[in-house]
Structure 1
Amino acid sequence: MKFGKQMETASFDLPENWRPHLIHYKILKKSIRLIVDELEQRGLSSEWLNTLDTEEAMRLDYIFDGDAKDPHPYIRITIEDPAVITTDDKPAVLKKLIPITQKLTTEPLSIKIELVRDSEFFHLLLHELSHAAALHEKEKERFGGDVDKLEGQLTIAASPQKKDFQQQLEWFTAELSRMSMTKRLSSKSSKMALTQFLAINAQLVHFKHFQALNQTAMRKILKKHDKRSGLRL
């Protein structure tokens, strides 16, 4: 099963209000196809871009202008000897960008190629990440409130005057994973504290799963970006 489908299936194990905050992997994948189309339309196929690693006469740099919130990626191709751009195996975009007079010189030449679709991809990815981060902050605050509430409940349940604390603390710890143990606690406050504790742990497990899905989606989509486009982050 492909990862996009796996992520979609796994999302049903999460609370419904969390699902919109997962990275939309399939949408980003489609965005990569647009990047590839734009590059190929300019004569910059991923196969040719990969050959620049061994090309002595040219060098490609993949650069980002702007900042972390507003990135603008572009390609800078440095040609040590413009005169070599005369053969048919060179991309048409280079021939169009380099005047004949410059081809005949031996001075190094630098060409900047803006990447519109690539910029759209990273703006979309950043939007997805900020959406997930907003949920993280919201849930962090909620978890903090739940823990404070549990602390208050434990203060009551664990009072030295309470039988549950004095006689059953060791049992409580050892049998924590068994839901039926609530019937063995004598006080209402102890049962409430246990129920709240288990609920918080279940929520944390779910949220860890949510974060793992987003982290995997992030890693895979960037790997796919590099592989499909030939642009290496």
Structure 2
Amino acid sequence: MDEPVRVVLATRNAHKVGELRAILAPHLPADVRVELLAVGDPSLPEVPDVAETEVTFAGNALLKARAVAAATGLLAVADDSGIAVDVLGGSPGIFSARWAGRHGDDAANLALLLAQVSDVPDEHRGAAFVCAAAVVTPDGGEHVELGELRGSLAREPRGEGGFGYDPVLVPEGSQVSCAELSPEQKDAVSHRGQAFRALAPHLADAVRAHRRPPR
């Protein structure tokens, strides 16, 4: 039996790993065994943390994927995502995960963002989740796709699902926040789902090429 093609998801966030596996798995080649591994998997070499020094989501996604591909010698998939609020000129943007100062403090980030727009009327509370998804091959091939979910900011967190800013973004045409959607509903409309479904054909091509024996 053929050895599986190993693809490394460049994240240590367990919530994101679950989302990416659910989104990508249906779009991978049926004739190739693929293992989707997270950074930190004990079977992988140590992958150093990457400073997100680029000024765009796409740039940071590529930084992370390149670092993982270089460290592991495997296909690497990464994303960078955040929330862009209209009245804040697109902020927090690439600083979304550390908007309140400490990386990954969801509660503090939400509290600060809601305080900053507390006096903004409902009709001007437009915002969007934005995601850049990248695949990088060990030989330097690269591809990036973007996804966006437009909506508006709720006045307080709603729902127990999701993570990050999910409790405060109500998608256009919806009456509930992203944190009130089921995982399947969220994946169907989310910025991450859009970006990774667009990326999936390019990842599938890379998987097939990676399996192909050298000539």
TM-score interval, smaller chain: under 0.3
Q: Which has the higher strand share?
A: 2
Q: Which has the higher helix share?
A: 1
Structure with the bigger RCO (C-alpha within 8 Å, sep 6+) is 1
Q: Which has the larger radius of gyration?
A: 1
Output the TM-score relative to the length of structure 1: 0.24
